[in-house]
Amino acid sequence: MNRSAMQWLFEPPSIRDMAPGTKVIVYAILTFWTAFVLFPIYWVLITSFKSAIDVNSGPVYLPFVDFQPSLHAWKELFVFDFWDTLSAYVNSLIIALSATAASVIIGSMASYALARFEYQPRFGVVFMFVLVMVGAFVAVGRYGVDWRLSCAAGVAVFYFLARALGRHFKARLGNGDILFWMISQRILAPIVVVVPIYMMFQQVSLLDTHIAIILTYTVINLPIVIWLMYDFFTSIPIDLEECAQLDGATRFGVFWDIVLPLSRSGLAATTLLVMILSWNEYLLALFLSTSRAQTMPILVAAMNAGERGILWWSMSVVIIVMIIPVVILAIILQRYISKGLLLGAVKG
Amino acid sequence: MRPGTPRAAPSIGARERLSDWIDRHSAQVFIWPAVIMILVFSIFPLVASLIMALSRIRFRGGTYNVRFVWFQNFEKQLFGSEQFHFLGTFNGLGLLGWAVGLAVTLLIAWLAISYLRGPVTAVGLVGRLFTWGLSLGLGWLFAATLFSGHPFGTLGTTLFYVFVGCGLQFVIGLALAFLCSLPIRGRTFFRVVFFIPLMITPIGVGYAFRMMADTTKGPFSPVWQWAGLGDFAWAADAWAARFFIVIGDSWQWIPFIFVVMLAALESVPRDYVEAAQVDGATSWEIFKDITWPQVVPVAATVLLIRVIEAFKIVDLPNIMTAGGPGIATESMTLHALFAWRSLDLGQSAAVAYLLLFVTVVTCVSFFNLVVLRRVRA
Amino acid sequence: MTVVLDAVSKSFGSVKVLHELSLEVQDGEFLVLLGASGSGKSTALRMIAGLETVSEGRISISGQDVTDALPKNRDVAMVFQSYALYPHKTVAENIGYPLKIRRMNRAEIESQVREVAAQVRIDELLERYPRELSGGQRQRVALARAMVRRPSVFLMDEPLSNLDAKLRGHMRAELKHMQHELGITTIYVTHDQVEAMTLAHRVALLEGGRLQQLAAPKTIYEDPENLFVAQFIGSPPMNVAHGRLDAGTFVIGKDRVVTGGTETVANAVIGLRAEDCQVVPPEDGAIRAQLFANELIGDHTLVTAKVGDDMVSIKAPKEFEAGFDEAIGIAFATDKLYLFDKDTGARIRRT
Ligand SMILES: Nc1ncnc2c1ncn2[C@@H]1O[C@H](COP(=O)(O)OP(=O)(O)OP(=O)(O)O)[C@@H](O)[C@H]1O
Ligand SMILES: [Mg+2]
């Protein structure tokens, strides 16, 4: 009897169905995880409706039951500080959208190029470039040469060296090397490059502007786009592209009309991921913006307002409103992604 | 082409010629924007950063002066009086420390011998010597700090976040993906819900988990009170703090692994699974023998992506504990950030470079040992 | 429009896959590039299209040198073996794409698309996506897309090879008719000699990247330039037997065949088409042979026999019957036989 009960519980009744016991366990785990995922969000949400007293005098859980929800934090952000909030929000939108668009377009172009064209840069020329660059740096750092002069001289020297000596180098790099070089840039932690980038923008007076942050975000996300899109591009039948060329399209036309639409599921997933990364980025924004170009994550951190302690309620409001654009984008792109999120991309 | 009016014809011709010129050089046109951006914003700063790491930079009245000091910054990190910061504190080895150190040494010796017995290639040998050497160093580092009861430095903390965090995230993410790939109702619901944490800004996650973990005003304070831990300050306990950070990080990143692995699992051809079902295999057997081998490449890649990103962890420790207690939760990026705040740009860059080094070594080893072995097999 | 290839060569790295190919395609001509797999047909076609660079030589279309022109500026249309229909566009969008690129206005595109769709009888399918079409329908869409912009040259790379045998025959006829009606110069690649013979005004036979013969199907069948052409064309392939040519007499084993010429060649090959031979009693035949097998194929019997070390096929009446290994004789008219030099493969024409 015992055995048959066990059997009923855990033996699948049919091939399409699960045994009741297994089912219960599966649902229990999934429900637990749902709670684990949703509870912090719920807590942030209700905290945004709490007054300072509610927060500071121990936990209250249910609005209207435990405590009287109030809109004071929302009012504070959207009525009293409306312009500051709006400016951060708009900054964030401009920066995240532009950086996403730029890195997806530039990254896909490079990725497509590596999938379709053949590159054979000479190893010696690349090496020469590195040498010249280091020389230019030493000139600036050690001997105080003006950086513009040093850059110009470096480019000129490299150009003539490459023209004069380039032909003599035999060893060549291939597409794989370039691809690896580009993707490996993702290994760079932002902290490695942020200080020089800061100084660079300082030199050209672009600190605390949209363009500085957009450029930086674009570059740090390029490797991801190149990595994820490469497999999509190689899997497109080349006949289609050749046919379009004969139909009269330019290379860019082929890319735009044929290649991009055919890889749109990968494109959607990549766009979403890049958007999430640049919308939520904090460290680089902290370095590169001081006031005018402040983004939403900076605003979150700003609610840790020193002498007044942390304004949990206002912070919660910011966190909540920050999710909205991402959710909207996810819903828009969901249609394309639903089947193969990031797949193909990471087929390895 | 259609005949144009005589006046318009030359301009059309010029435009045609331009577009044809671009078309002929499209191989260059497509790749140079990315190359230039990477050169300017990635390679250039990388070299600049190296020079900074080799210099001492002082701010004086609005300008700064740079003095080349070779490896002093690195020396200071590795052997200087501040060594507790990067490597940890050495105060002699404890008994357990000796045991672990010797165990690691023996393990690596055994690996080395078994490799040397087989076919040896020059590149493989150099690469392995490198990896063995570093693992040995790391093993003794942990033996001398963690296992001898002394605090370890930001290197150890970062590695803890990476290996424990990514391991946890991978296992849970994969398990959830497996459960969601079963034929159950409400899969779409779970899929959407499980994805949400990824969309929240890491800094928000940091603050949210700070609230969660609050033993007096947080939602779980009744539980803490009941367990008699009402005044337990988790942020003051090194291991509790580290684990809280790992939990927060996992809450955010499990969705990433979940989503990718779910897509991979669902793209396994139904025929294979059905054939196995007909043969009477259980769900678990099907997973183990059929599905898993098919998704291993995706798993390796997603894990590699996740490991790369995990090395950069900074927001959570910064928000949740500000690196405390002491430096117990300070990741290397945070370490460099703090050095920058105290205007010690040389040290900051040196730490950043050490982080780069550790990341590269880990990723290359991972790639060689896991991804390439799979490819060769 | 004419297409002229002037000593065009192509190398991939150090491998030369096309050797000094020279062709002149007349205006309105249907030229078929025929050859075995790997003989360089596709490569030649793709060079005309501009999809492959030219290593040496010149290509011109309508009198204009296009050797270095971009594909889009050559005014050629191509039908691919895979059809290369854009999966994300409907049939109408697929057909209209070349026009859209040329910035034609919408209404005009629509009317032209309708017109060609009617021509290839797919006007019912305009709103569908390629994945919702059968092989034959896809084929027609690909054709329509090539036709819609009235190019100076059509290029087709084995366009029928993905269809089943019956449909292939049908499409072949349609293609021929269409080409005749439109009068557009067409270069068509195939490895199927039946297709080549039925479609072409002239056939260019390629082997190993070299042009073997360029002639009308009838000529290429009846008057092959060399041994390769003779053996490539015809089904079953032309029978050959090895021997020597002695002052105009072909010596094969104990048999001597008077050919009517006067040449002497040490290593010679005699060629005969199956339908030009008759099976006769051994003593009446010009050549004696040993029967190897006979197969009844509908309206005739195909007899396979052994001449020395060579196998020959002979078409016999369907009533023919004989046992294995029986001795037979083969009779033929002298003017139906072909002679080749074994060493060079060149035809030996009787003087
Ligand atoms: N991109 C390439 N790189 C190197 N060799 C090539 C390339 N394309 C074709 N070849 C070689 O050129 C030769 C001719 O190829 P081609 O495709 O023209 O043959 P084909 O006559 O079209 O054959 P099939 O009937 O099989 O299509 C082949 O030996 C092939 O291996
Ligand atoms: Mg071919």
Per-residue pLDDT, C5: 92
**Residue C207 Cα, ligand 1 centroid: separation in angstroms?**
12
Interchain contact A36–B (C-beta under 8 A): yes
Q: List the domain range (segments joined by +) for residue A207.
A: 81-118+197-337
* Candidate from B221-225, C6-10, C43-47, C108-112 with smallest mean pLDDT: B221-225
What is the domain count for chain A? 2
Interchain contact A256–B (C-beta under 8 A): no
Ligand nearest to the CA of C37: 1
Of the candidates C218, C124, C138, C183, the one whose C-alpha atom is nearest the C-alpha of residue C1 is C183
Chains that touch B (3 or more CB pairs under 8 A): A, C
Residue nearest to atom 9 of ligand 1 (CA): C43
Question: Which tens digits make up the pLDDT trace of B293-337?
Answer: 888 888 888 899 899 999 999 989 988 888 778 788 888 889 888
Pocket around ligand 1: residues whose beta carbon is below 6 Å from it?
Answer: C 12, 17, 35, 37-43, 191
Model confidence at B163, pLDDT cuts 50, 70, 90, reads: very high
Whether B282 and B163 share a structural domain: yes
Return mean pLDDT, chain A: 86
Per-residue pLDDT, B62: 65
Whether B105 and B130 share a structural domain: yes
Cβ neighbours of residue A152 closer than 8 Å, sequence gap 6 or more = none
DSSP B80: S
Return mean pLDDT, chain B: 82
Model confidence at C229, pLDDT cuts 50, 70, 90, reads: very high
Per-residue pLDDT, B2: 36
Return mean pLDDT, chain C: 89
Residue B73 lies in a domain: no
Contacts of A29 in chain B (CB under 8 A): 175-176, 179
Helix (H) or strand (E) holding C250: strand C249-252
Model confidence at B377, pLDDT cuts 50, 70, 90, reads: low
Interchain contact B199–A (C-beta under 8 A): yes
Residue B196 lies in a domain: yes
Whether A9 and A113 share a structural domain: no
Instruction: Tell me the average pLDDT across A339-348.
Output: 44
Angle between the B122-144 and B345-366 helix axes, to the nearest 10 degrees? 120
Interchain contact B43–A (C-beta under 8 A): yes
Model confidence at A343, pLDDT cuts 50, 70, 90, reads: very low
Residue B106 lies in a domain: yes
Per-residue pLDDT, A216: 95
pLDDT at residue A348 is higher than 50? no
For ligand 1, mutation pick of C11, C17, C195, C211 (most atoms within 8 Å of CB): C17
Per-residue pLDDT, B123: 80
* Alpha-helical segments (H) within B267-344: 270-278, 283-286, 292-310, 315-320, 332-341
Q: What fold characterizes domain C236-341?
A: OB fold (Dihydrolipoamide Acetyltransferase, E2P) (2.40.50)
- Report for B249-263, B360-374, C335-349: range of highest mean pLDDT: B249-263
Per-residue pLDDT, C126: 92
* Span C3-228 CATH architecture: 3-Layer(aba) Sandwich (3.40)
| Cβ-defined contact of A322 to B68 (cutoff 8 Å) | no
Instruction: Tell me the average pLDDT across A141-166.
Output: 85
Question: Which tens digits make up the pLDDT trace of B102-150?
Answer: 888 899 899 888 888 888 788 878 888 888 888 888 888 777 777 766 7
Residue B39 lies in a domain: yes
Give the pTM. 0.87
Of A246 and B149, the one with more pLDDT:
A246
Whether B197 and B290 share a structural domain: yes
Whether B249 and B372 share a structural domain: yes
* Whole-number Å distance between alpha carbons of A260 and A264: 6
- Secondary structure class of B177 (helix, strand, coil): helix
Q: Backbone phi, then psi, for C272, in 5-degree steps?
A: -145, 135
CATH (domain of A225):
1.10.3720.10
Last residue within a domain, chosen from B100, B127, B149: B149
Of B133 and B168, the one with more pLDDT:
B168
Interchain contact C150–A (C-beta under 8 A): no
Question: Which tens digits make up the pLDDT trace of C262-275?
Answer: 888 888 898 999 88
Instruction: Tell me the average pLDDT across B177-192.
Output: 86
Of B10 and C64, the one with more pLDDT:
C64
- Report for A229-238, B170-179, C315-324: range of highest mean pLDDT: B170-179
Whether A58 and A87 share a structural domain: no
DSSP A256: I
**Residue C157 Cα, ligand 2 centroid: separation in angstroms?**
7
Per-residue pLDDT, A40: 93
Per-residue pLDDT, B375: 57
Please tell me the distance in Å from A292's CA to the nearest CA on chain B. Answer: 20
- Within 13 Å, how many C-alpha atoms sit on residue C300's CB side? 13
Whether B143 and B237 share a structural domain: no
Residue B298 lies in a domain: yes
- Report for A138-142, B20-24, C90-94: range of highest mean pLDDT: C90-94
Whether B217 and B342 share a structural domain: yes
Per-residue pLDDT, B13: 57
Model confidence at B172, pLDDT cuts 50, 70, 90, reads: very high
**Residue C42 Cα, ligand 1 centroid: separation in angstroms?**
7
Whether A93 and A46 share a structural domain: no
* Whole-number Å distance between alpha carbons of B205 and A41: 9
* Whole-number Å distance between alpha carbons of A220 and B349: 18
Per-residue pLDDT, B146: 73
Residue A310 lies in a domain: yes
Whether B351 and B209 share a structural domain: yes
Per-residue pLDDT, A2: 64
Per-residue pLDDT, C266: 85
Instruction: Tell me the average pLDDT across C1-9.
Output: 91
Contacts of B13 in chain C (CB under 8 A): none
Whether B133 and B205 share a structural domain: no
Ligand nearest to the CA of C157: 2
Cβ neighbours of residue B12 closer than 8 Å, sequence gap 6 or more = B4
How many Cβ pairs closer than 8 A exist between chain B and C?
5
Residue A125 lies in a domain: no
- Let me know: does B146 contact B349? Beta carbons within 8 Å: no
Whether B100 and B163 share a structural domain: no
Q: Which atom of ligand 1 is nearest to the CA of C206?
A: 21
Last residue within a domain, chosen from A34, A53, A71: A71
- Which residue in B33, B34, B260 is closest to A342 by CB distance? B260
Strands across the sheet with C56-61, in order?
A: C15-25, C3-12, C56-61, C64-65
Strands (E), A230-347: none
CATH (domain of B326):
1.10.3720.10
- Report for A330-339, B114-123, C67-76: range of highest mean pLDDT: C67-76
For ligand 1, mutation pick of C37, C43, C47 (most atoms within 8 Å of CB): C43
- Secondary structure class of C270 (helix, strand, coil): strand
Please tell me the distance in Å from C88's CA to the nearest CA on chain A. Answer: 7
Whether B17 and B121 share a structural domain: no
What is the domain count for chain B? 3
Model confidence at A254, pLDDT cuts 50, 70, 90, reads: very high
Cβ neighbours of residue C286 closer than 8 Å, sequence gap 6 or more = C255, C257, C329, C330, C331, C332
- Secondary structure class of A120 (helix, strand, coil): coil
Q: List the domain range (segments joined by +) for residue B105.
A: 90-149
Cβ neighbours of residue C333 closer than 8 Å, sequence gap 6 or more = C276
Whether B169 and B312 share a structural domain: yes
Whether A229 and A305 share a structural domain: yes
Instruction: Tell me the average pLDDT across A233-246.
Output: 91
Per-residue pLDDT, C207: 92
pLDDT at residue C119 is higher than 70? yes
Per-residue pLDDT, B135: 84
Residue A151 lies in a domain: no
Question: Which tens digits make up the pLDDT trace of C332-343?
Answer: 888 888 989 888
Can you give the residue ranges of every domain in chain C? 3-228, 236-341
C67, C70, C152: best to mutate for the B interface, most B CBs within 10 A: C70
Interchain contact C103–B (C-beta under 8 A): no
- Which residue in C74, C76, C86 is closest to A258 by CB distance? C86
Of A64 and C55, the one with more pLDDT:
C55
Q: Please, is A341 exposed, middle or buried when counting C-beta atoms within 10 Å of its C-beta (0-12, 13-18, 19+)? A: buried
Whether B21 and B47 share a structural domain: yes
Per-residue pLDDT, A3: 66
- Secondary structure class of C253 (helix, strand, coil): coil
Please tell me the distance in Å from B27's CA to the nearest CA on chain C. Answer: 14
* Whole-number Å distance between alpha carbons of B24 and A288: 39
Model confidence at B7, pLDDT cuts 50, 70, 90, reads: very low
**Residue C41 Cα, ligand 2 centroid: separation in angstroms?**
6
pLDDT at residue C156 is higher than 90? yes
Per-residue pLDDT, B5: 31
Last residue within a domain, chosen from A71, A100, A126: A71
